[in-house]
Structures are given as C-alpha cells and as structure tokens.
C-alpha cells in the first residue's frame, strides 16, 4: 500500500490523506480513494477539488491519470464538473453510516434548577474584562523565550514573584519566589507530593476524618495509607498525631467540610509533631481569602516554613477552569518536588501564568477578591436569615459553603423535600473517612456561589426525583 498526501487549497487549504491501493493501477487506486473519501464524508458535498494539473503535481503522477479518474467519478455521479466552477463533490454524495452505527438517541443530561453543592465559585462573576486587559499587557510585554518550552519546572518567575508578595501580605506566608512551584491546581500539587513522599519511603499520611474522598483516593493510589484524625469544634485533633504518619493533610483556616477553624493550640500541636518526628504538614488553604466575621487568620505555614508545604489555587478566588495552583515548598523538599514536576509537567500555559502575574501586580486580583468577599458574605447572611429559627448553622462565617445542623431524624425528609423542589444538597456523611468511626451527622451543606451542576434523573410523569441515589420525592 502506497500512501500520498494531497493538499486541497481551492476552498480551505486542508490536507486530505489518500491511500492508493497497490497492484490495482494508479487510476483505479485514485478512483477508489476519492470515492471512499466522498462516501465516508471526509470530502464533504460541494467541496471543490484541485485542478488535475495541481492534483497530479501533489501526488507525483501523470495529469492524464487524474483527469481520467475525475471523469469516471463524474460519470458515476460522485463528482460534478462545470465550466468555470471546476470539479466538485456532488451534493448527492452524502456519507453513509457504517453498518451497526445506528444507536438509540441518548437523553440530554438534566441539571437541578438550584444547586447548593459546595466546591465552585460564582463562575458568572469571573472578571472577564480585567483578565482580558491583563492578558493583553502580559502578551505585549512577554519576552520571546516565554513562548518556548520553558526551562524552569517551577514555572514563570514573574508569577512566582507576584505570588510571593501577595501571599506574604494577604496570608502571612513566608514565600521566597525560589521556593514557589506552580502547578495545575491542588490535585496536581498533591499528586506530585504523594509521589515524593512515597519515594521517601513514607507509608502513611494522616488526614482529617471529614475530608474530600478524591484527595484520600489520590494518596492511596500512590501507595500511601491514610489515617483519619477526629474532627471536632476545634478542628482536627492534631495532638493525636503519631510518628507512624510521615505527613498530615490539613485545612487549618476553614476545615472542609465541617467549616470550623483549627485552634491555636491545635496549630501548635501540629507544628510540634512535625518538628519532633520530622514529618511534613500539607496545608490546603483552599479559600483562605474568604473570612467574613473578622480578619482572616494567617496561614499555618508562617509558624514553621521548614516543616509546612503551603498549597493554594485560583480555583475558588477566580475559577477552577484556569487550572492554576501553587506550592510554597520547604528547602529540604524543593529539589525533589521540582524533579518530580519536571518529569510529568502538565501545568498551565506560560501565557496564563504571565496573565495572572499581571492581574496580581495591577491590583485587579485584590479588587476582585474584595468584591467577591462582599458577595459571598451577603449570600451567606441571606441563607442564615432564611433558616433562622428552624435549623442551626455551624462553622465559622467563611468560604463558599455552610453547614446546617438538622434536628435528629429529619435528614431524609429534608433531602426528599429539596429534591422535590429541584434543589441539590449534599450531606456530611459523604465526606467521612471510612475508617474514622464517625457517625453520619444530620447535616446538609449549602454554598455561597453556584457550584458545579449535578446530574439528575426525571421521575415518572416528568416530576423530579433528584440525581441518582437521591430519595424519591414525597407523594403529591
């Protein structure tokens, strides 16, 4: 089988790959290849073919061979040839579905009308105009080498410098630009750290008893055991940390999902454990900018920058679709993290990094965060007022979700009523570590901004039964 490339430039300048079957002669092979291209739809009806002269030159064959092939296909009805219009694929040459390709039409996915599932900021308030202005300035000022592959696995120095200033000012992080590693969000960062810990022969990572199952699964997928720490009103019980764990993953500023803050005594206990055992604290500061009742508590990393890996992202402050995150890494871990990232680098583009750097330097990031803090605080206040006298709201006034403590025995009723009203909620029970021994709390979560849509399933008669796994709605 010989293969040739033909370039059609008359209509759209696209390349068409033709397989000319060996042993059948050039003309017969060309006829069959063009017929197959028209039949399958690779050559759409109305497409203008190149002249026989230019097509012959592309294929490296005689012009007469192409002309004869065109003439045969015109006679069969696959092509049309008119003076002044050239040779085109006939309109009647509609592609046919291969045998067995017919499938039942799948119903379009349906989404709840109202969603209070935590996890996503208000995507409708992404600062499009400000981001576009920053992107233009960044693109104008970008050095030529920014368009290359990139020599530093830590990421663009412009963004690392901008983040160092911002994190020190807004979150109390000791952030030397040389110790910042840019990544494609928290999951990317945790993936890298899990691999480094495993290479260090760490066998166990302590996690909060209420925590995101995705993060636990990522750690176990890297060959690490996860041991749950009990979570109470003071946060994770860090005094229970032992030398068996080589690291601990914490959400100190706003525990996810219970909404409590790690108390000063628990913070000190975590740092003391790390210093005594040589362990590492992985600090997930996922929404540290959004505290509403007081000045935000600084990051835990400031207590001991040599034992804490600080992890932050733009997913809650801007949008998760940017795939932008960062780690501030202790000196003793930096080389290993950079080496791991260099081996499997799938971070955000250099231009996005330069844009975020400009967005921060210009003050637009601070203005956006301040504006969203007011919006989310207003929404949370409205939620608290709406349920006042019915259920209690626990956790600190912060972040993009709230926890409603339901009266005993009412959770099922509330979920059924929510599903009936086309409202998506989540319970704390889905976040419990399977080995924690924690009893499911009678609580439901609410969000400050619209979270990711959740699939739902229609019920008989067009009524809404909720997403898969939800209880059925109450009878009419």
CB 325 within 8 A of CB 312: yes
pLDDT tens-digit map of 305-358 = 999 999 999 999 999 999 999 999 999 999 999 999 988 776 778 999 999 999
What is the span of the domain harbouring residue 151? 126-364
Distance of alpha carbon 194 from alpha carbon 190, whole angstroms: 6
Q: How many CB atoms lie within 10 A of CB 71?
A: 15
Shortest CA distance to 57 belongs to which of 134, 4, 96, 13? 4
pLDDT tier for residue 77 given thresholds of 50, 70 and 90:
confident
Q: Is residue 230 part of a domain?
A: yes
What's the pTM value of the predicted model, to 2 decimals? 0.77
Q: Would you say residue 9 has pLDDT above 70?
A: no
Question: Which pLDDT value is given to residue 423?
Answer: 86
Q: What is the mean pLDDT of residues 392-396?
A: 90
Residue 22 has pLDDT above 60, yes or no: no
Residue at token pair 């260090």: 200
In the predicted model, what is the mean pLDDT of the chain? 84
CA 419 remoteness from chain centre: 27
**pLDDT given for residue 21 in this prediction:** 57
Which of these three, 319, 342, 364, is where a domain ends?
A: 364
Count of domains for the chain: 3
Give the whole-angstrom CA distance, residue 434 versus residue 332.
33
Q: Is residue 163 within 8 Å of residue 326, measured between CB atoms?
A: yes
- Provide the pLDDT for residue 467: 35
The residue with tokens 């690291």 is 247
What pLDDT was estimated at residue 118? 86
- 209 and 294: one domain? yes
Confidence (pLDDT) at 28: 85
Tell whether 434 is covered by a domain: yes
Task: Check if the beta carbon of residue 137 is closer than 8 Å to that of residue 358.
Answer: yes
pLDDT at 3 over 60: no
Q: What is residue 115's predicted lDDT score, i.e. its pLDDT?
A: 82
pLDDT of residue 471: 38
Whether pLDDT at 273 is above 60: yes
| Residue, of 229 and 27, whose pLDDT is higher | 229
As a dihedral over the C-alpha atoms of residue 16, residue 20, residue 26, residue 31, rounded to 10 degrees, the angle is: -60
User: Could you report the per-residue pLDDT of 421-455, keeping only the tens digit for each?
Assistant: 888 888 888 899 988 776 655 445 554 443 333 33
Residues whose CB is less than 8 angstroms from the CB of residue 184 and which lie 6 or more positions away in sequence, other chains included: 323, 324, 325, 346, 347, 348
Q: Is the model more confident about 370 or about 33?
A: 370
CATH number of the domain within which 13 lies: 1.10.10.10
What CATH number has the domain bearing residue 207? 3.40.640.10
Are 20 and 37 spatial neighbours (Cβ–Cβ below 8 Å)?
no
Looking at residue 103, its pLDDT comes to 53
Residues 328 and 392 in one domain: no
Q: Measured between alpha carbons, how far is 140 from 134 in angstroms, rounded to an integer?
A: 10
* pLDDT of the residue at 124: 92
* Contact status, residue 262 vs residue 235, Cβ threshold 8 Å: yes
Evaluate whether residue 31 is within a structural domain: yes
Is residue 401 within 8 Å of residue 291, measured between CB atoms? no
Tell whether 248 and 142 lie within a shared domain.
Answer: yes
**For the range 53-62, what are the long-range contacts, defined as Cβ-Cβ under 8 Å and sequence gap of 24 or more?**
54/9, 55/6, 58/4, 58/5, 58/6, 58/7, 59/4, 59/6, 59/18, 59/20, 59/30, 60/4, 61/26, 61/30, 62/26
Q: Is residue 467 a part of any domain in this protein?
A: no
359 within some domain = yes
């Amino acid at each position: 089988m010989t293969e040739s490339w033909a370039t059609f430039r008359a209509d759209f300048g696209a390349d068409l790959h033709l397989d000319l079957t060996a042993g059948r002669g050039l003309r017969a092979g060309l006829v069959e290849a063009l017929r197959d291209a028209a039949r399958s739809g690779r050559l759409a009806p109305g497409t203008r073919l190149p002249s026989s002269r230019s097509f012959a030159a592309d294929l490296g064959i005689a012009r007469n061979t192409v002309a004869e092939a065109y003439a045969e296909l015109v006679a069969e009805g696959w092509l049309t040839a008119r003076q002044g219009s050239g040779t085109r694929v006939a309109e009647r040459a509609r592609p046919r579905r291969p045998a067995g390709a017919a499938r039942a039409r799948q119903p379009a996915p349906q989404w709840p009308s109202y969603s209070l599932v935590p996890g996503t900021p208000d995507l409708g308030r992404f600062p499009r105009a400000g981001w576009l202005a920053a992107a233009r300035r960044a693109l104008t000022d970008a050095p030529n080498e920014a368009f290359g592959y990139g020599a530093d696995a830590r990421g663009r120095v412009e963004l690392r410098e901008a983040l160092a200033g911002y994190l020190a000012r807004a979150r109390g992080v000791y952030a030397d630009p040389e110790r910042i590693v840019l990544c494609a969000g928290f999951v990317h960062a945790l993936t890298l750290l899990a691999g480094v810990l495993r290479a260090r022969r760490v066998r166990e990572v302590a996690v909060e008893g209420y925590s995101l199952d995705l993060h636990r699964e990522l750690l176990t997928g890297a060959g690490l055991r996860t041991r749950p720490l009990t979570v109470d009103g003071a946060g994770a019980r860090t005094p229970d940390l032992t030398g068996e764990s080589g690291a601990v993953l914490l959400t100190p500023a706003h525990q996810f999902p219970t909404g409590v803050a790690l108390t000063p005594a628990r913070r000190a206990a975590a740092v003391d454990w790390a210093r005594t055992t040589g362990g590492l604290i992985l600090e997930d500061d996922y929404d540290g900018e959004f505290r509403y009742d007081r000045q935000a508590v600084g990051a835990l990393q400031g207590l001991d920058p040599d034992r804490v890996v600080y992890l932050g992202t733009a997913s809650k402050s801007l949008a998760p679709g940017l795939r932008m995150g960062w780690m501030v890494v202790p000196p003793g871990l930096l080389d290993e993290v950079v080496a791991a990232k260099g081996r499997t680098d799938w971070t955000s583009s250099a231009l996005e990094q330069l844009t975020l750097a400009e967005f921060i330097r210009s003050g637009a990031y601070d203005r956006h965060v301040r504006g969203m803090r007011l919006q989310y605080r207003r929404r949370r206040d409205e939620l608290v007022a709406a349920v006042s006298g019915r259920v209690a709201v626990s956790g600190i006034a912060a972040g993009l979700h709230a926890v409603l403590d339901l009266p005993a025995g009412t959770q099922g009723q509330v979920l059924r009523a929510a599903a009936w009203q086309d409202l998506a909620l989540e319970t704390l029970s889905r976040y419990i570590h399977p080995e924690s021994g924690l009893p499911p709390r009678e609580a439901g979560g609410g969000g400050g901004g619209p979270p990711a849509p959740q699939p739902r399933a229609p019920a008989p008669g067009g009524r809404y039964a909720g997403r898969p796994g939800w209880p059925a709605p109450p009878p009419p």
